[in-house]
């Protein structure tokens, strides 16, 4: 059974991840911080240190993945928390009102048939582990917080993946995107 997980990402001066690079890809940046504290659990983590900013999301059901794609994903996707995966990325994204008003078939056509979001991602498995947190129904400032973990050797491939996605039709609906690159603090 899938357990609903709440992800809380606090930017500040403490936390298990060190900020290596922070870019405002589209729209305004987040305040600059040195560290990221990540809490994942079935209940909201009690927040002792607010940090400079907090982003929240929840794992949820699959919005676009179809039967055949799900089988390939399940077969290839690696778990999170691999000890050798010392690099991570947190990519918060907000899509436009125009995106959210599209009917399901049109969103799926843009997302996969015309932008190849799932197919492109599959090419980078099992190098890159991934978990998607949803913020849209929560009224969060970002609709999606995608968390990635990878080994240092996969950093260039990961760069290639995010750059390719940013050229797609899907990305024309992204109105804010932040890209945080992280190194596990020893």
- By CB under 8 A, name the binding residues for a copy of itself: 1-2, 4, 6, 58, 60-67, 69-70, 97, 100-101, 103-106, 108, 134, 136-139
CB of 54 to a copy of itself, least distance (A): 18
CB of 108 to a copy of itself, least distance (A): 7
Question: Closer CB to a copy of itself, residue 35 or residue 120?
Answer: 120
Half-sphere exposure of 5 (CA within 13 A, CB side): 15
Half-sphere exposure of 123 (CA within 13 A, CB side): 11
CB of 142 to a copy of itself, least distance (A): 14
Question: Closer CB to a copy of itself, residue 136 or residue 171?
Answer: 136
CB of 178 to a copy of itself, least distance (A): 21
What is residue 31's three-state secondary structure? Answer: coil
Question: Closer CB to a copy of itself, residue 43 or residue 81?
Answer: 43
Question: Closer CB to a copy of itself, residue 138 or residue 151?
Answer: 138
CB of 9 to a copy of itself, least distance (A): 17
The secondary structure of 85-111 as a DSSP string is --EEEEEEEEE-HHHHHS-HHHHHIII
Residues ≥6 apart with Cβ < 8 Å to 15 = 35, 36, 37, 38, 51, 185
Query: 22 and 183 in contact (C-beta within 8 Å)?
Result: no
Eight-class DSSP state of 3: P
Report the alpha-carbon distance of residue 124 to residue 24 in Å, rounded: 24
Question: Closer CB to a copy of itself, residue 58 or residue 183?
Answer: 58
């Amino acid at each position: 059974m899938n357990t609903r997980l709440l992800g809380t990402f606090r930017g500040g001066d403490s936390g298990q991840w060190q900020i290596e690079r922070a870019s405002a890809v589209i729209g305004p940046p987040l305040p600059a911080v040195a560290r990221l504290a990540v809490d994942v659990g079935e209940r909201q983590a009690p927040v002792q240190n607010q940090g400079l900013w907090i982003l929240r999301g929840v794992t949820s059901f699959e919005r676009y993945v179809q039967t055949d794609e799900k089988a390939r994903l399940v077969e290839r996707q690696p778990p999170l928390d691999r000890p050798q995966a010392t690099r991570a990325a947190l990519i918060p994204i907000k899509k436009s009102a125009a995106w959210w008003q599209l009917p399901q078939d049109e969103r799926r056509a843009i997302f996969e048939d015309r932008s190849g979001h799932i197919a492109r991602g599959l090419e980078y498995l099992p190098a890159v582990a991934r978990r998607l947190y949803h913020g849209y129904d929560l009224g969060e400032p970002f609709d999606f917080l995608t968390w990635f973990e990878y080994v240092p050797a996969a950093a260039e491939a990961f760069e290639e993946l995010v750059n390719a996605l940013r050229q797609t039709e899907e990305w024309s609906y992204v109105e804010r995107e932040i890209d945080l690159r992280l190194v596990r603090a020893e």
